[in-house]
Amino acid sequence: MSRLSVLLVEDHAMVRKGLRTILELEGDIDVVAEADNGREAVALAEEFRPDVVVMDISMPGLNGLEATSQIKDRISDVNILVLTRHSTEAYVSRIFKAGASGYVTKREAPTELIAGIRAVGRGDAFLSPSISKTVIDDYVRRADRCVEDSLERLTPREREVLQLVAEGRSSPEIGDLLYISAKTVENHRANLMKKLDIHSTAELTQYAIRKGVISVDP
């Protein structure tokens, strides 16, 4: 039996521990590393080169969508399975555009998670059964019509700055985290606000929540 190496990315320690326990009961799955944020996930993916990355979306600092995009840019043959509580058409579209191969909702784990890992591990796509035909049809319609989401107008760096600003971090803090100057951060911030026609930090934060760049726990 061919074994699958898995990088498990989830910011809640108890959830991550539970998922690891479930996965390690399977004879063909090895959890080789864990990450609790997007930046660590990118670094560990490069270090371990796992067969599958199980990726949470809502994480501080760098969300799972941006982490997925960065990992795919650096390791094109990695398979990424997104695990999230979100199930709207907007998330389906953004998940697959970021480069993920599969999508599992947390309410359907662990059964669908295991099936999803095996599917993407062999190179197939995977969708949770709860993703309705309406959602799938809407995704296909958007792709066919090349409907541009406003987030797509931003560069990857601008999307990083967007998330960090929306999380309440200052320009010097963001600069330290991204290894750029505070002035460069301000330039990115000004550019992204211009592109989005947003004029205040409050509006920017509301936009980030609405687009799922950051989440507010219920």
Mean pLDDT, the chain, rounded, equals 87
Rounded-to-integer distance, Cα 66 and Cα 39, Å = 9
Quote the percentage of the chain above a pLDDT of 90: 61
Banded pLDDT at 107 (limits 50, 70, 90)? confident
pLDDT digits (tens, 9 = 90+) for 7-33: 999 999 999 999 999 999 998 999 999
Radius of gyration over every alpha carbon of the chain, rounded to an integer in angstroms: 17
What domains can be seen in the chain, in order of their start residue?
Answer: 4-145 (3.40.50.2300), 150-210 (1.10.10.10)
User: What CA dihedral angle connects 138, 118, 12 and 173, to 10 degrees?
Assistant: -70
Whole-structure pTM value = 0.76
Banded pLDDT at 72 (limits 50, 70, 90)? very high
What local confidence, expressed as pLDDT, does residue 50 receive? 97
